[in-house]
Structure 1
Amino acid sequence: MKQIILLLFFSWTLPFQAQERFIDAVFDVEKTITKTYITKDGENLKLDIYQPENDTLSSRPVIIFMHGGGFSGGTRTNEAEVKFAETAAKKGYVAVQISYRLTRKGQSFGCDYSALGKIKTFKLAAEDFMDAVNFMIQNKEEYRINPDKVIVGGSSAGAEAVLNAVYNERLMFEDLSNYENFKFAGVFSLAGAIVDARYITEENAVPGVFFHGTEDNLVPYGTGPHHWCDRDKPGYIILDGSHSIVERLRQLDSSYLLYSFEGGKHEHSGMPFDYLPEVFNFFNSVFLNGEKRQIEVWK
């Protein structure tokens, strides 16, 4: 009889356990706000802002995400990106999905496109990304954003732009004056890479969460040619992928969470919904609360 009473008590208490902001879905989502963050080459570059409804917190972390698509396609309104933004907003984040110039639309970004052209593509996309961050920080009062808690992320091409902007800023930008006050709390990368991991220093070793297939056929998991182009092809360029970036962060004693998918290819540029609870736990403990964690997970 005592056992039955205890079980009944347990079942009644479970629904009333406190939910935790940034971990659990504690909000509904406000109507999405669309803004033009800058106009370039006659194109209005837009972003969508997702916010928790009836949230009274005056200073909130923001997640700014850049979609993939080989710099030729994709959209900020992809179903997966929208679902991720809504998931983040329900947890108490301000979530932002951005569009950017698709400079390779209708054109190749493979082995027949020059290495110098690829670098220029990275630079232009990284510039658009930083301009979107700048817009959100300039409007921090309106959207109640904490400029010290800016989390940035991207998928595939978007991840390449974001990672290069964060870790290779000296290679990407001739003039950093417009962005020198940015302080990134963390990076979220899905199958991304940078030009050179050696440019990651103690000053810019931002903690990161990384997902990557070990046999990615487009963006190297470690250090290797982009699209695995042959050395004699115009598009031959060596990039440092997630594993190489994490190795550099480890050397610099920065935090990271790396999911490596044995034998996986570029499909791991997709949003990892099955692992988002672990991702948001890491966001909360490391990006928001400054805990030190170095975690590698093999799948």
Structure 2
Amino acid sequence: MQERLLLTWMLVLTGATLLFSQDYSSCDGERYRQDVFDGVTVTTGVQFGSNTTIGGNVQDLFMDVYEPEGDTASVRPTVVMAFGGAFVFGQREDLDGLCRSLARKGYVAATIDYRLFDAIIPVDSNQMHDVVVKAIGDMKAAIRHLREDAATSNQFRVDTNLIFAGGISAGAITAAHVAHLDETDDIPNYLQNIIANNGGIEGNSSDNYQYSSSVAGLVNYSGALKDASFIDADDPPQFSVHDEGDGIVVYGNGLVFAGPIVLVYLEGSFSMDQQAEAVGVESRLITYPGNGHVSYFGDNADQYEAEVEAATAMFLADQICGEISDAKTLEPSFSVRAFPNPLPAQQPLRLMVEGHSGPVQFRLFSISGVSVAEQVVTAGTTELIDLPALPGGIYVIELRPSDNKGAAVRQRIVIQ
């Protein structure tokens, strides 16, 4: 197999359907999944907070906001992104390309400042924990600012129910804690003290605490948590991408260098995915082979970047649109057996649909959401489906009643 993609799909259809008060008529099957806007409007230098760095310097905090040009939707889902750079370097402009990609698909995207380590060098792990907690507070202030904007001037037309946190590397570590760390978690005493010294769980980079910093989901590009057990059953869904042999931010768990003489323990995307599965939180994980760090946006970008962006959009769109057209009939009316699984290359797929009396539409999707095969099958019989030649990897089977009067059933399958 030329590439090995490990993707955990926890698609519980009754839980994946999102019913908000807004009319998401913009969920047309293309918006949020594909590029549907040609232009992007960028508003730079939107201040959302101010605070003191670990080096004692006062830093004003800004975001750049990206919107689909010419969009008429009254509210839009929003992704707040944080750049990478080991909490030592980097700038919000580094995520210009990712934010433009999201805006072309119909999202509002914001890339934010957060405070970096600006002392001489970190001399102990508590200093690095402190700078991470500061970054978490900064991102929470950015999220609160967007909710405040929605409640006041409404410049960006943000859907306050659908704000997602995301980031790359250090930015993903920040976003992961924004999504999953809360006061109900078993937080070690030393970390509780650091949090308390930085204004508590919400931070103190702004004082608009009447607005929530909660998020609807996490986009995690090679990030980690201090402790994967921070993920609880009531936490938001997550989407992760990671290099399996990452030596900068661990894929599993272990010590990583946070400066020339400091080691910090982290639990990476694989550990986060395992914990999410254990507590019933939707989690999707794409794993790439090799020892790179964020290689899919770096050395291997030509091969993987478009695929990662498409899979990200598919995850977000599923949270936003769900099965809205089927809102009155959420429970699947049939069950499916697909075998063999894994499916050897060039071998027909056997499909058995039980508990349904009419024709069923079969579709097979790649992990990037592209339909690669479809066929109408008859319930109650074992159907042989000849698939086209496909690269090895993980795919998703979708079966839906041909009359569209029931919820879809989805199942993962591996093609060898």
Q: What TM-score range do you get, normalising by the shorter chain? A: 0.7 to 0.9
2:342 aligned residue: none
The two structures, once aligned, show a CA RMSD in angstroms of: 2.8
SS in 2 for 1:33: strand
Q: How big is the shift at 1:289? A: 3.1
Q: How big is the shift at 1:108? A: 4.0
Mapped pair 1:118 → 2:131: no
SS in 2 for 1:129: helix
Mapped to 2, the partners of 1:293 and 1:179 lie a distance apart of: 40
1:7 aligned residue: none
1:211 aligned residue: 241
Distance 1:56 1:36, change over 3 A: same
* Letter of the structure 1 residue corresponding to residue 241 of structure 2: F
1:289 aligned residue: 321
* Letter of the structure 2 residue corresponding to residue 277 of structure 1: A
> CA-to-partner distance for each residue in 1:162-192, whole Å, 9 max, x for gaps?
1122212334744346388333121111111
Mapped to 2, the partners of 1:99 and 1:277 lie a distance apart of: 25
SS in 2 for 1:266: coil
Aligned counterpart in structure 2 of residue 201 of structure 1, from 222, 232, 251: 232
Aligned counterpart in structure 1 of residue 220 of structure 2, from 172, 189, 197: 189
Bigger mean CA deviation after superposition, 170-179 or 22-31: 170-179
Bigger mean CA deviation after superposition, 86-95 or 162-171: 162-171
* Letter of the structure 2 residue corresponding to residue 185 of structure 1: A
1:12 aligned residue: none
Distance 1:95 1:228, change over 3 A: closer
Distance 1:249 1:295, change over 3 A: farther
Mapped pair 1:46 → 2:87: no
- TM-score for both structures, normalised by structure 2: 0.59
Aligned counterpart in structure 2 of residue 254 of structure 1, from 267, 273, 281: 281
Q: Is the 8 A contact 1:155 1:191 kept in 2?
A: yes
Mapped to 2, the partners of 1:282 and 1:129 lie a distance apart of: 21
Identity of aligned residues (%): 25
> CA-to-partner distance for each residue in 1:217-266, whole Å, 9 max, x for gaps?
1111111112399xxx9623321100000001101122122111222321
Distance 1:282 1:117, change over 3 A: same
- TM-score for both structures, normalised by structure 1: 0.81
SS in 2 for 1:32: strand
Distance 1:154 1:163, change over 3 A: same
Mapped to 2, the partners of 1:47 and 1:273 lie a distance apart of: 24
SS in 2 for 1:45: strand
* Superposition map of 1:90-109 within 5 A: 90-102=104-116, 104-105=117-118, 107-108=120-121
Bigger mean CA deviation after superposition, 88-97 or 18-27: 18-27
* Letter of the structure 1 residue corresponding to residue 249 of structure 2: V
> CA-to-partner distance for each residue in 1:83-118, whole Å, 9 max, x for gaps?
11111111110010111112x247445xxx311112
1:267 aligned residue: 294
Q: How big is the shift at 1:63? A: 0.6
Mapped to 2, the partners of 1:180 and 1:293 lie a distance apart of: 36
Largest Rg, 1 or 2: 2
Q: How big is the shift at 1:136? A: 1.0
Bigger mean CA deviation after superposition, 169-178 or 185-194: 169-178
Mapped to 2, the partners of 1:23 and 1:134 lie a distance apart of: 26
Distance 1:296 1:212, change over 3 A: farther
Q: How big is the shift at 1:196? A: 0.8
* Letter of the structure 1 residue corresponding to residue 89 of structure 2: G
2:178 aligned residue: 165
Q: Which has the higher helix share?
A: 1
Q: How big is the shift at 1:143? A: 1.1
> CA-to-partner distance for each residue in 1:9-42, whole Å, 9 max, x for gaps?
xxxxxxxxx8721122222334311211112233
Mapped pair 1:60 → 2:76: yes
Mapped to 2, the partners of 1:160 and 1:211 lie a distance apart of: 13
> CA-to-partner distance for each residue in 1:272-299, whole Å, 9 max, x for gaps?
62221122112111x213579897999x
Bigger mean CA deviation after superposition, 268-277 or 20-29: 268-277
> CA-to-partner distance for each residue in 1:123-156, whole Å, 9 max, x for gaps?
0111111111111111122211111111110111
2:313 aligned residue: 280
Mapped pair 1:127 → 2:116: no
Mapped to 2, the partners of 1:295 and 1:149 lie a distance apart of: 26
Q: How big is the shift at 1:269? A: 7.2
SS in 2 for 1:264: coil
How many aligned positions are there?
A: 270
Mapped to 1, the partners of 2:130 and 2:90 lie a distance apart of: 19
* Letter of the structure 1 residue corresponding to residue 218 of structure 2: V
Mapped to 2, the partners of 1:199 and 1:294 lie a distance apart of: 28
